[in-house]
Chain A
Amino acid sequence: MLADDFFRIAHSDSTGRPRLHTRAAGVGLGAALLAELMLDHQLTVDDGQLVVVDRQLPDDALAHTVLEQLVAEPHHRRVRTWLDFLSRTAPEAVGDRLVRAGHATRRTSRWRRGTFFVPTDMSAAAWPEARLRMLLSGRGRWTWPDVVLVGLVGATGLARQVLWDIEPVTRQHRAEVLGWLAPDLRELVAQTEAAVGDAVLSHRT
């Protein structure tokens, strides 16, 4: 799942500690959850507004919850409002999804307030990052979730960490890859970048 992959890239594969500041990680995860629904053609973005196109509830419990929330609050449509909302709930929710699937265990740190989701299998946790590196060096086949993932990794500022050595040379390539996306997904990525940037300008990082 897309949000699971973003979560794994945004956290250390050994300790589960964050590699990105809370606000950007939250916005990125929220965007990933919306993108999951968009890739399944249940949701689309039009001019900054979210539009539910298919109300059939998905099998995945978390996607189910997100779509249910979207349907229940028809008066809130702005992508930015939902990114703001989901940024607060998504980190915990996606972490729990990883726990349910057996990919992580929950650990509460006593001296650093907060919960960590420690990966049960380090190589599985490291796979999304490795995969992106492979794809960006021209090996392997792109999938739509991976295209969105590369967009969100760039939009949240995580690219410089994940792809530090190949970041400058792949910038052009990444822009090209993003160009393949449907306009609604491209807009979601741009809204994510704007939300992360605005957090800096309003001292909310």
Chain B
Amino acid sequence: MTRTASPVAQSNLSRTLADGRLGVPAVVFFVLSAAAPLTVTAGVIPTGYAVTGVTGIPLAFLVVAVVLALFSVGYVAMARHVANAGAFYAYIARGLGRPAGVGAAWVALLAYNLLQVGLYGAVGAAATPLLDQWLGIAPPWWGSAVLAWALVAVLGVLRVDVNGTVLAVLLVAEVGVVGLYAAANLAHPAGGVVTVDTLAPGNLLVPGVGAILALAVLGFVGFESAVVFSEESRNPRRTVPTATYLSVVLIAVMYALASWAMTVATGPDRVVTAAAEQGPELVFNLAAGQLGQPFADIGHALFLTSLLAAMISFHNTTARYMFALGREQVLPAALGRTSRRTGAPKVGSLVQSAIGLAVIVTYAVAGWDPLVQLFFWCGTSGGIGVLLLVAATSVAVVAFFAHCPAGLPLSRRLVAPALAAGALGVVVTLAVANIDTLLGVSPDSPLRWVVPGGYLAAALVGVGWGLALRSARPEVYATIGLGAKSAVLRVPARPASPAEKPAVGR
């Protein structure tokens, strides 16, 4: 008799709990909606071609996908042993010690904040020409950015499932547009020949390869979130791993195809110049020429909603990070508060909104460029932060299973995680070495040290904070990485003896 046919699974409780459990499609849907395909296709990829000048981007997506798939083997296996499974710092706290976990948490806060605030630059730059075309008004970029900011701030404290429905509808439309544009690009190759030049492995053996690898990681951010649904999935042992691998594969295929098709349409030798001249408009200009203006307009509108979706998604991720850290009391406990009516992590959300507004105002006052200096710099810097977290997590997975084999075969608990850790180590080294290419600054620019230095500082301060908690507040130290479950560990040993109790009537 199989397990599913046994009376156990047929019980009233199991049946009730099975209602509303998530299957693979639902989890993949969630992961991809955070990925916001058109933001990457129209925003990240052309800017990446323009700023780095390296044409191996399609290949970089495929290489990073292989590395992340390898990483996911140990990651999803360890997720079952991690209380706050959606957050990298929880794995690092478990595998490499709690102080390292706090260091990782601070790196994560910085990285996700960068990812989120960077999008305000893109939305500002993308919305202004559209408003001009539709309404005949041309506000400065920060005007549109503040509008988007207000929308995200409000949605952040509203019910999360409302956001989920909106994100799902947008996702389907975006994937459709990305696919359609890629097909059109391939049907209209430059010079009449579909060339696979940019897919030749030689494209990765160039100076600046670290830059495009880091850029590709940015496209995958969100793949880590499938594991938060362990408890909500139909079959935690199958649903979550399958959804994670499938998400990585789908993201890789979609972006590799889109970025390759772009080079086919412009010609591999022309893509960098075309991207530099046209920016995000490259994608829509190509579509307008191949499919007609209406299709470009649809894409334009979806680009805007895609940016909004990505903003909401990163906003919620960051707010949840703060919420979990507030619940652990690693950050002020107030961050662990939720909105009473909607259950959204309200205080974390408001803090996140405040940071966003401060960044928009700073860039507006300083007159910095929204697209390259805000969107691309912050986005890629955030991507590097996530890459650092993934790399540290891969080491934590190896360390964790060394202490606690959990009955897993050697291939899953050691071989795959160790290979992933090695590969990620190489990617991190290349990315940090090529950071000037990634940001498009000269090799002697101080900026190349600001990004790794910033993460190093955040990590060190975090580790110091963790060590301080160990001596000053051991009850908080003990719960690092447990997220909301820290409440259970904090149950104090019985303080009052019965004699000290007040008279209590029954």
Residue ranges of A at the interface with B (Cβ–Cβ < 8 Å): 18-21, 23-24, 48, 69, 72-73, 75-76, 81-82, 84-85, 88-89, 141-144, 147, 155, 157-158, 160-161, 179-180, 183, 186-187, 190-191, 193-205
Out of B164, B229, B486, name the residue touching A202 (CB < 8 Å).
Answer: B229
Q: Are B320 and A142 in contact (CB under 8 A)?
A: no
Q: Mark B71-89, 1 if CB is under 8 A from A, else 0.
A: 0000000000000101000
Out of A141, A144, A203, name the residue touching B503 (CB < 8 Å).
Answer: A141
A-side contacts of B8, CB under 8 Å = 75
A-side contacts of B340, CB under 8 Å = 19-21, 157-158, 160-161
Evaluate whether A81 and B17 lie within 8 angstroms (CB atoms) in the complex, with A73-B12, A155-B487 already known: yes
A-side contacts of B229, CB under 8 Å = 202
Q: Please list 29 pairs of residues, one from A and one from B, whose beta carbons are closer than 8 Å in the complex, sorted by A's number.
A: A18-B341, A19-B340, A23-B343, A24-B343, A85-B13, A85-B17, A89-B16, A141-B503, A141-B504, A142-B504, A144-B504, A157-B337, A183-B494, A186-B491, A193-B484, A194-B484, A195-B484, A198-B231, A198-B484, A200-B320, A200-B338, A200-B344, A201-B86, A201-B320, A201-B484, A202-B229, A203-B228, A205-B338, A205-B344
Q: Mark B470-490, 1 if CB is under 8 A from A, else 0.
A: 000000000000011111101
Q: Are A183 and B320 in contact (CB under 8 A)?
A: no
B-side contacts of A199, CB under 8 Å = 343
**For residue B225, which residue of chain A has the nearest CB?**
A203
Query: How many residues on B have C-beta within 8 angstroms of the other chain's C-beta atoms?
Result: 52
Out of A81, A88, A143, A202, name the residue touching B232 (CB < 8 Å).
Answer: A202
B-side contacts of A141, CB under 8 Å = 503-505
A-side contacts of B16, CB under 8 Å = 85, 88-89
B323 within 8 A of A: yes
B357 within 8 A of A: no
Q: Are B484 and A196 in contact (CB under 8 A)?
A: yes
B501 within 8 A of A: yes
A-side contacts of B491, CB under 8 Å = 183, 186-187, 190
In chain B, residues 215-248, which have Cβ atoms closer than 8 Å to a Cβ of chain A? 228-229, 231-232
**For residue A146, which residue of chain B has the nearest CB?**
B504
Q: Are A21 and B342 in contact (CB under 8 A)?
A: yes
B-side contacts of A157, CB under 8 Å = 337-338, 340
A-side contacts of B159, CB under 8 Å = 21, 205
B-side contacts of A191, CB under 8 Å = 487-488
Could you tell me the distance in whole angstroms from the C-beta of A4 to the nearest C-beta in chain B? 17
Evaluate whether A143 and B505 lie within 8 angstroms (CB atoms) in the complex, with A190-B491, A201-B320, A203-B160 already known: yes
**For residue A195, which residue of chain B has the nearest CB?**
B484
Grouping DSSP codes into helix (H, G, I), strand (E, B) and loop, the A interface class, with mixed when no group exceeds half, is helix
**For residue A183, which residue of chain B has the nearest CB?**
B494
**For residue B319, which residue of chain A has the nearest CB?**
A200
In chain B, residues 447-506, which have Cβ atoms closer than 8 Å to a Cβ of chain A? 483-488, 490-492, 494-496, 501-506
Q: Are B345 and A200 in contact (CB under 8 A)?
A: yes
Question: How distant is the Cα of A19 from the Cα of B231 in the complex, in angstroms?
Answer: 27
B336 within 8 A of A: yes
Evaluate whether A143 and B343 lie within 8 angstroms (CB atoms) in the complex, with A81-B17, A197-B327, A201-B228 already known: no
Q: Mark B1-32, 1 if CB is under 8 A from A, else 0.
A: 00000001001111011010000000000100
Out of A82, A183, A190, A201, name the residue touching B324 (CB < 8 Å).
Answer: A201
Could you tell me the distance in whole angstroms from the C-beta of B13 to the nearest C-beta in chain A? 5
Could you tell me the distance in whole angstroms from the C-beta of A112 to the nearest C-beta in chain B? 13
Could you tell me the distance in whole angstroms from the C-beta of B348 to the nearest C-beta in chain A? 9
Could you tell me the distance in whole angstroms from the C-beta of A135 to the nearest C-beta in chain B? 11
Q: Are B228 and A197 in contact (CB under 8 A)?
A: no
Q: Are A180 and B504 in contact (CB under 8 A)?
A: yes
B-side contacts of A160, CB under 8 Å = 337, 340
**For residue A145, which residue of chain B has the nearest CB?**
B506
Question: How distant is the Cα of A200 from the Cα of B345 in the complex, in angstroms?
Answer: 7
Q: Are A201 and B342 in contact (CB under 8 A)?
A: no
Q: Mark B345-377, 1 if CB is under 8 A from A, else 0.
A: 100000000000000000000000000000000
Q: Are A179 and B502 in contact (CB under 8 A)?
A: no
A-side contacts of B338, CB under 8 Å = 21, 24, 157, 196, 200, 205
Could you tell me the distance in whole angstroms from the C-beta of B159 to the nearest C-beta in chain A? 7
B-side contacts of A142, CB under 8 Å = 502, 504-505
Out of A18, A75, A143, A195, name the residue touching B504 (CB < 8 Å).
Answer: A143
Q: A89-B16, A193-B484, A205-B160 are in contact. List 4 more A-B contacts (CB 8 A).
A: A48-B488, A190-B488, A199-B343, A202-B86
- Of B11, B491, B503, the most chain A CB neighbours within 10 A belong to B491
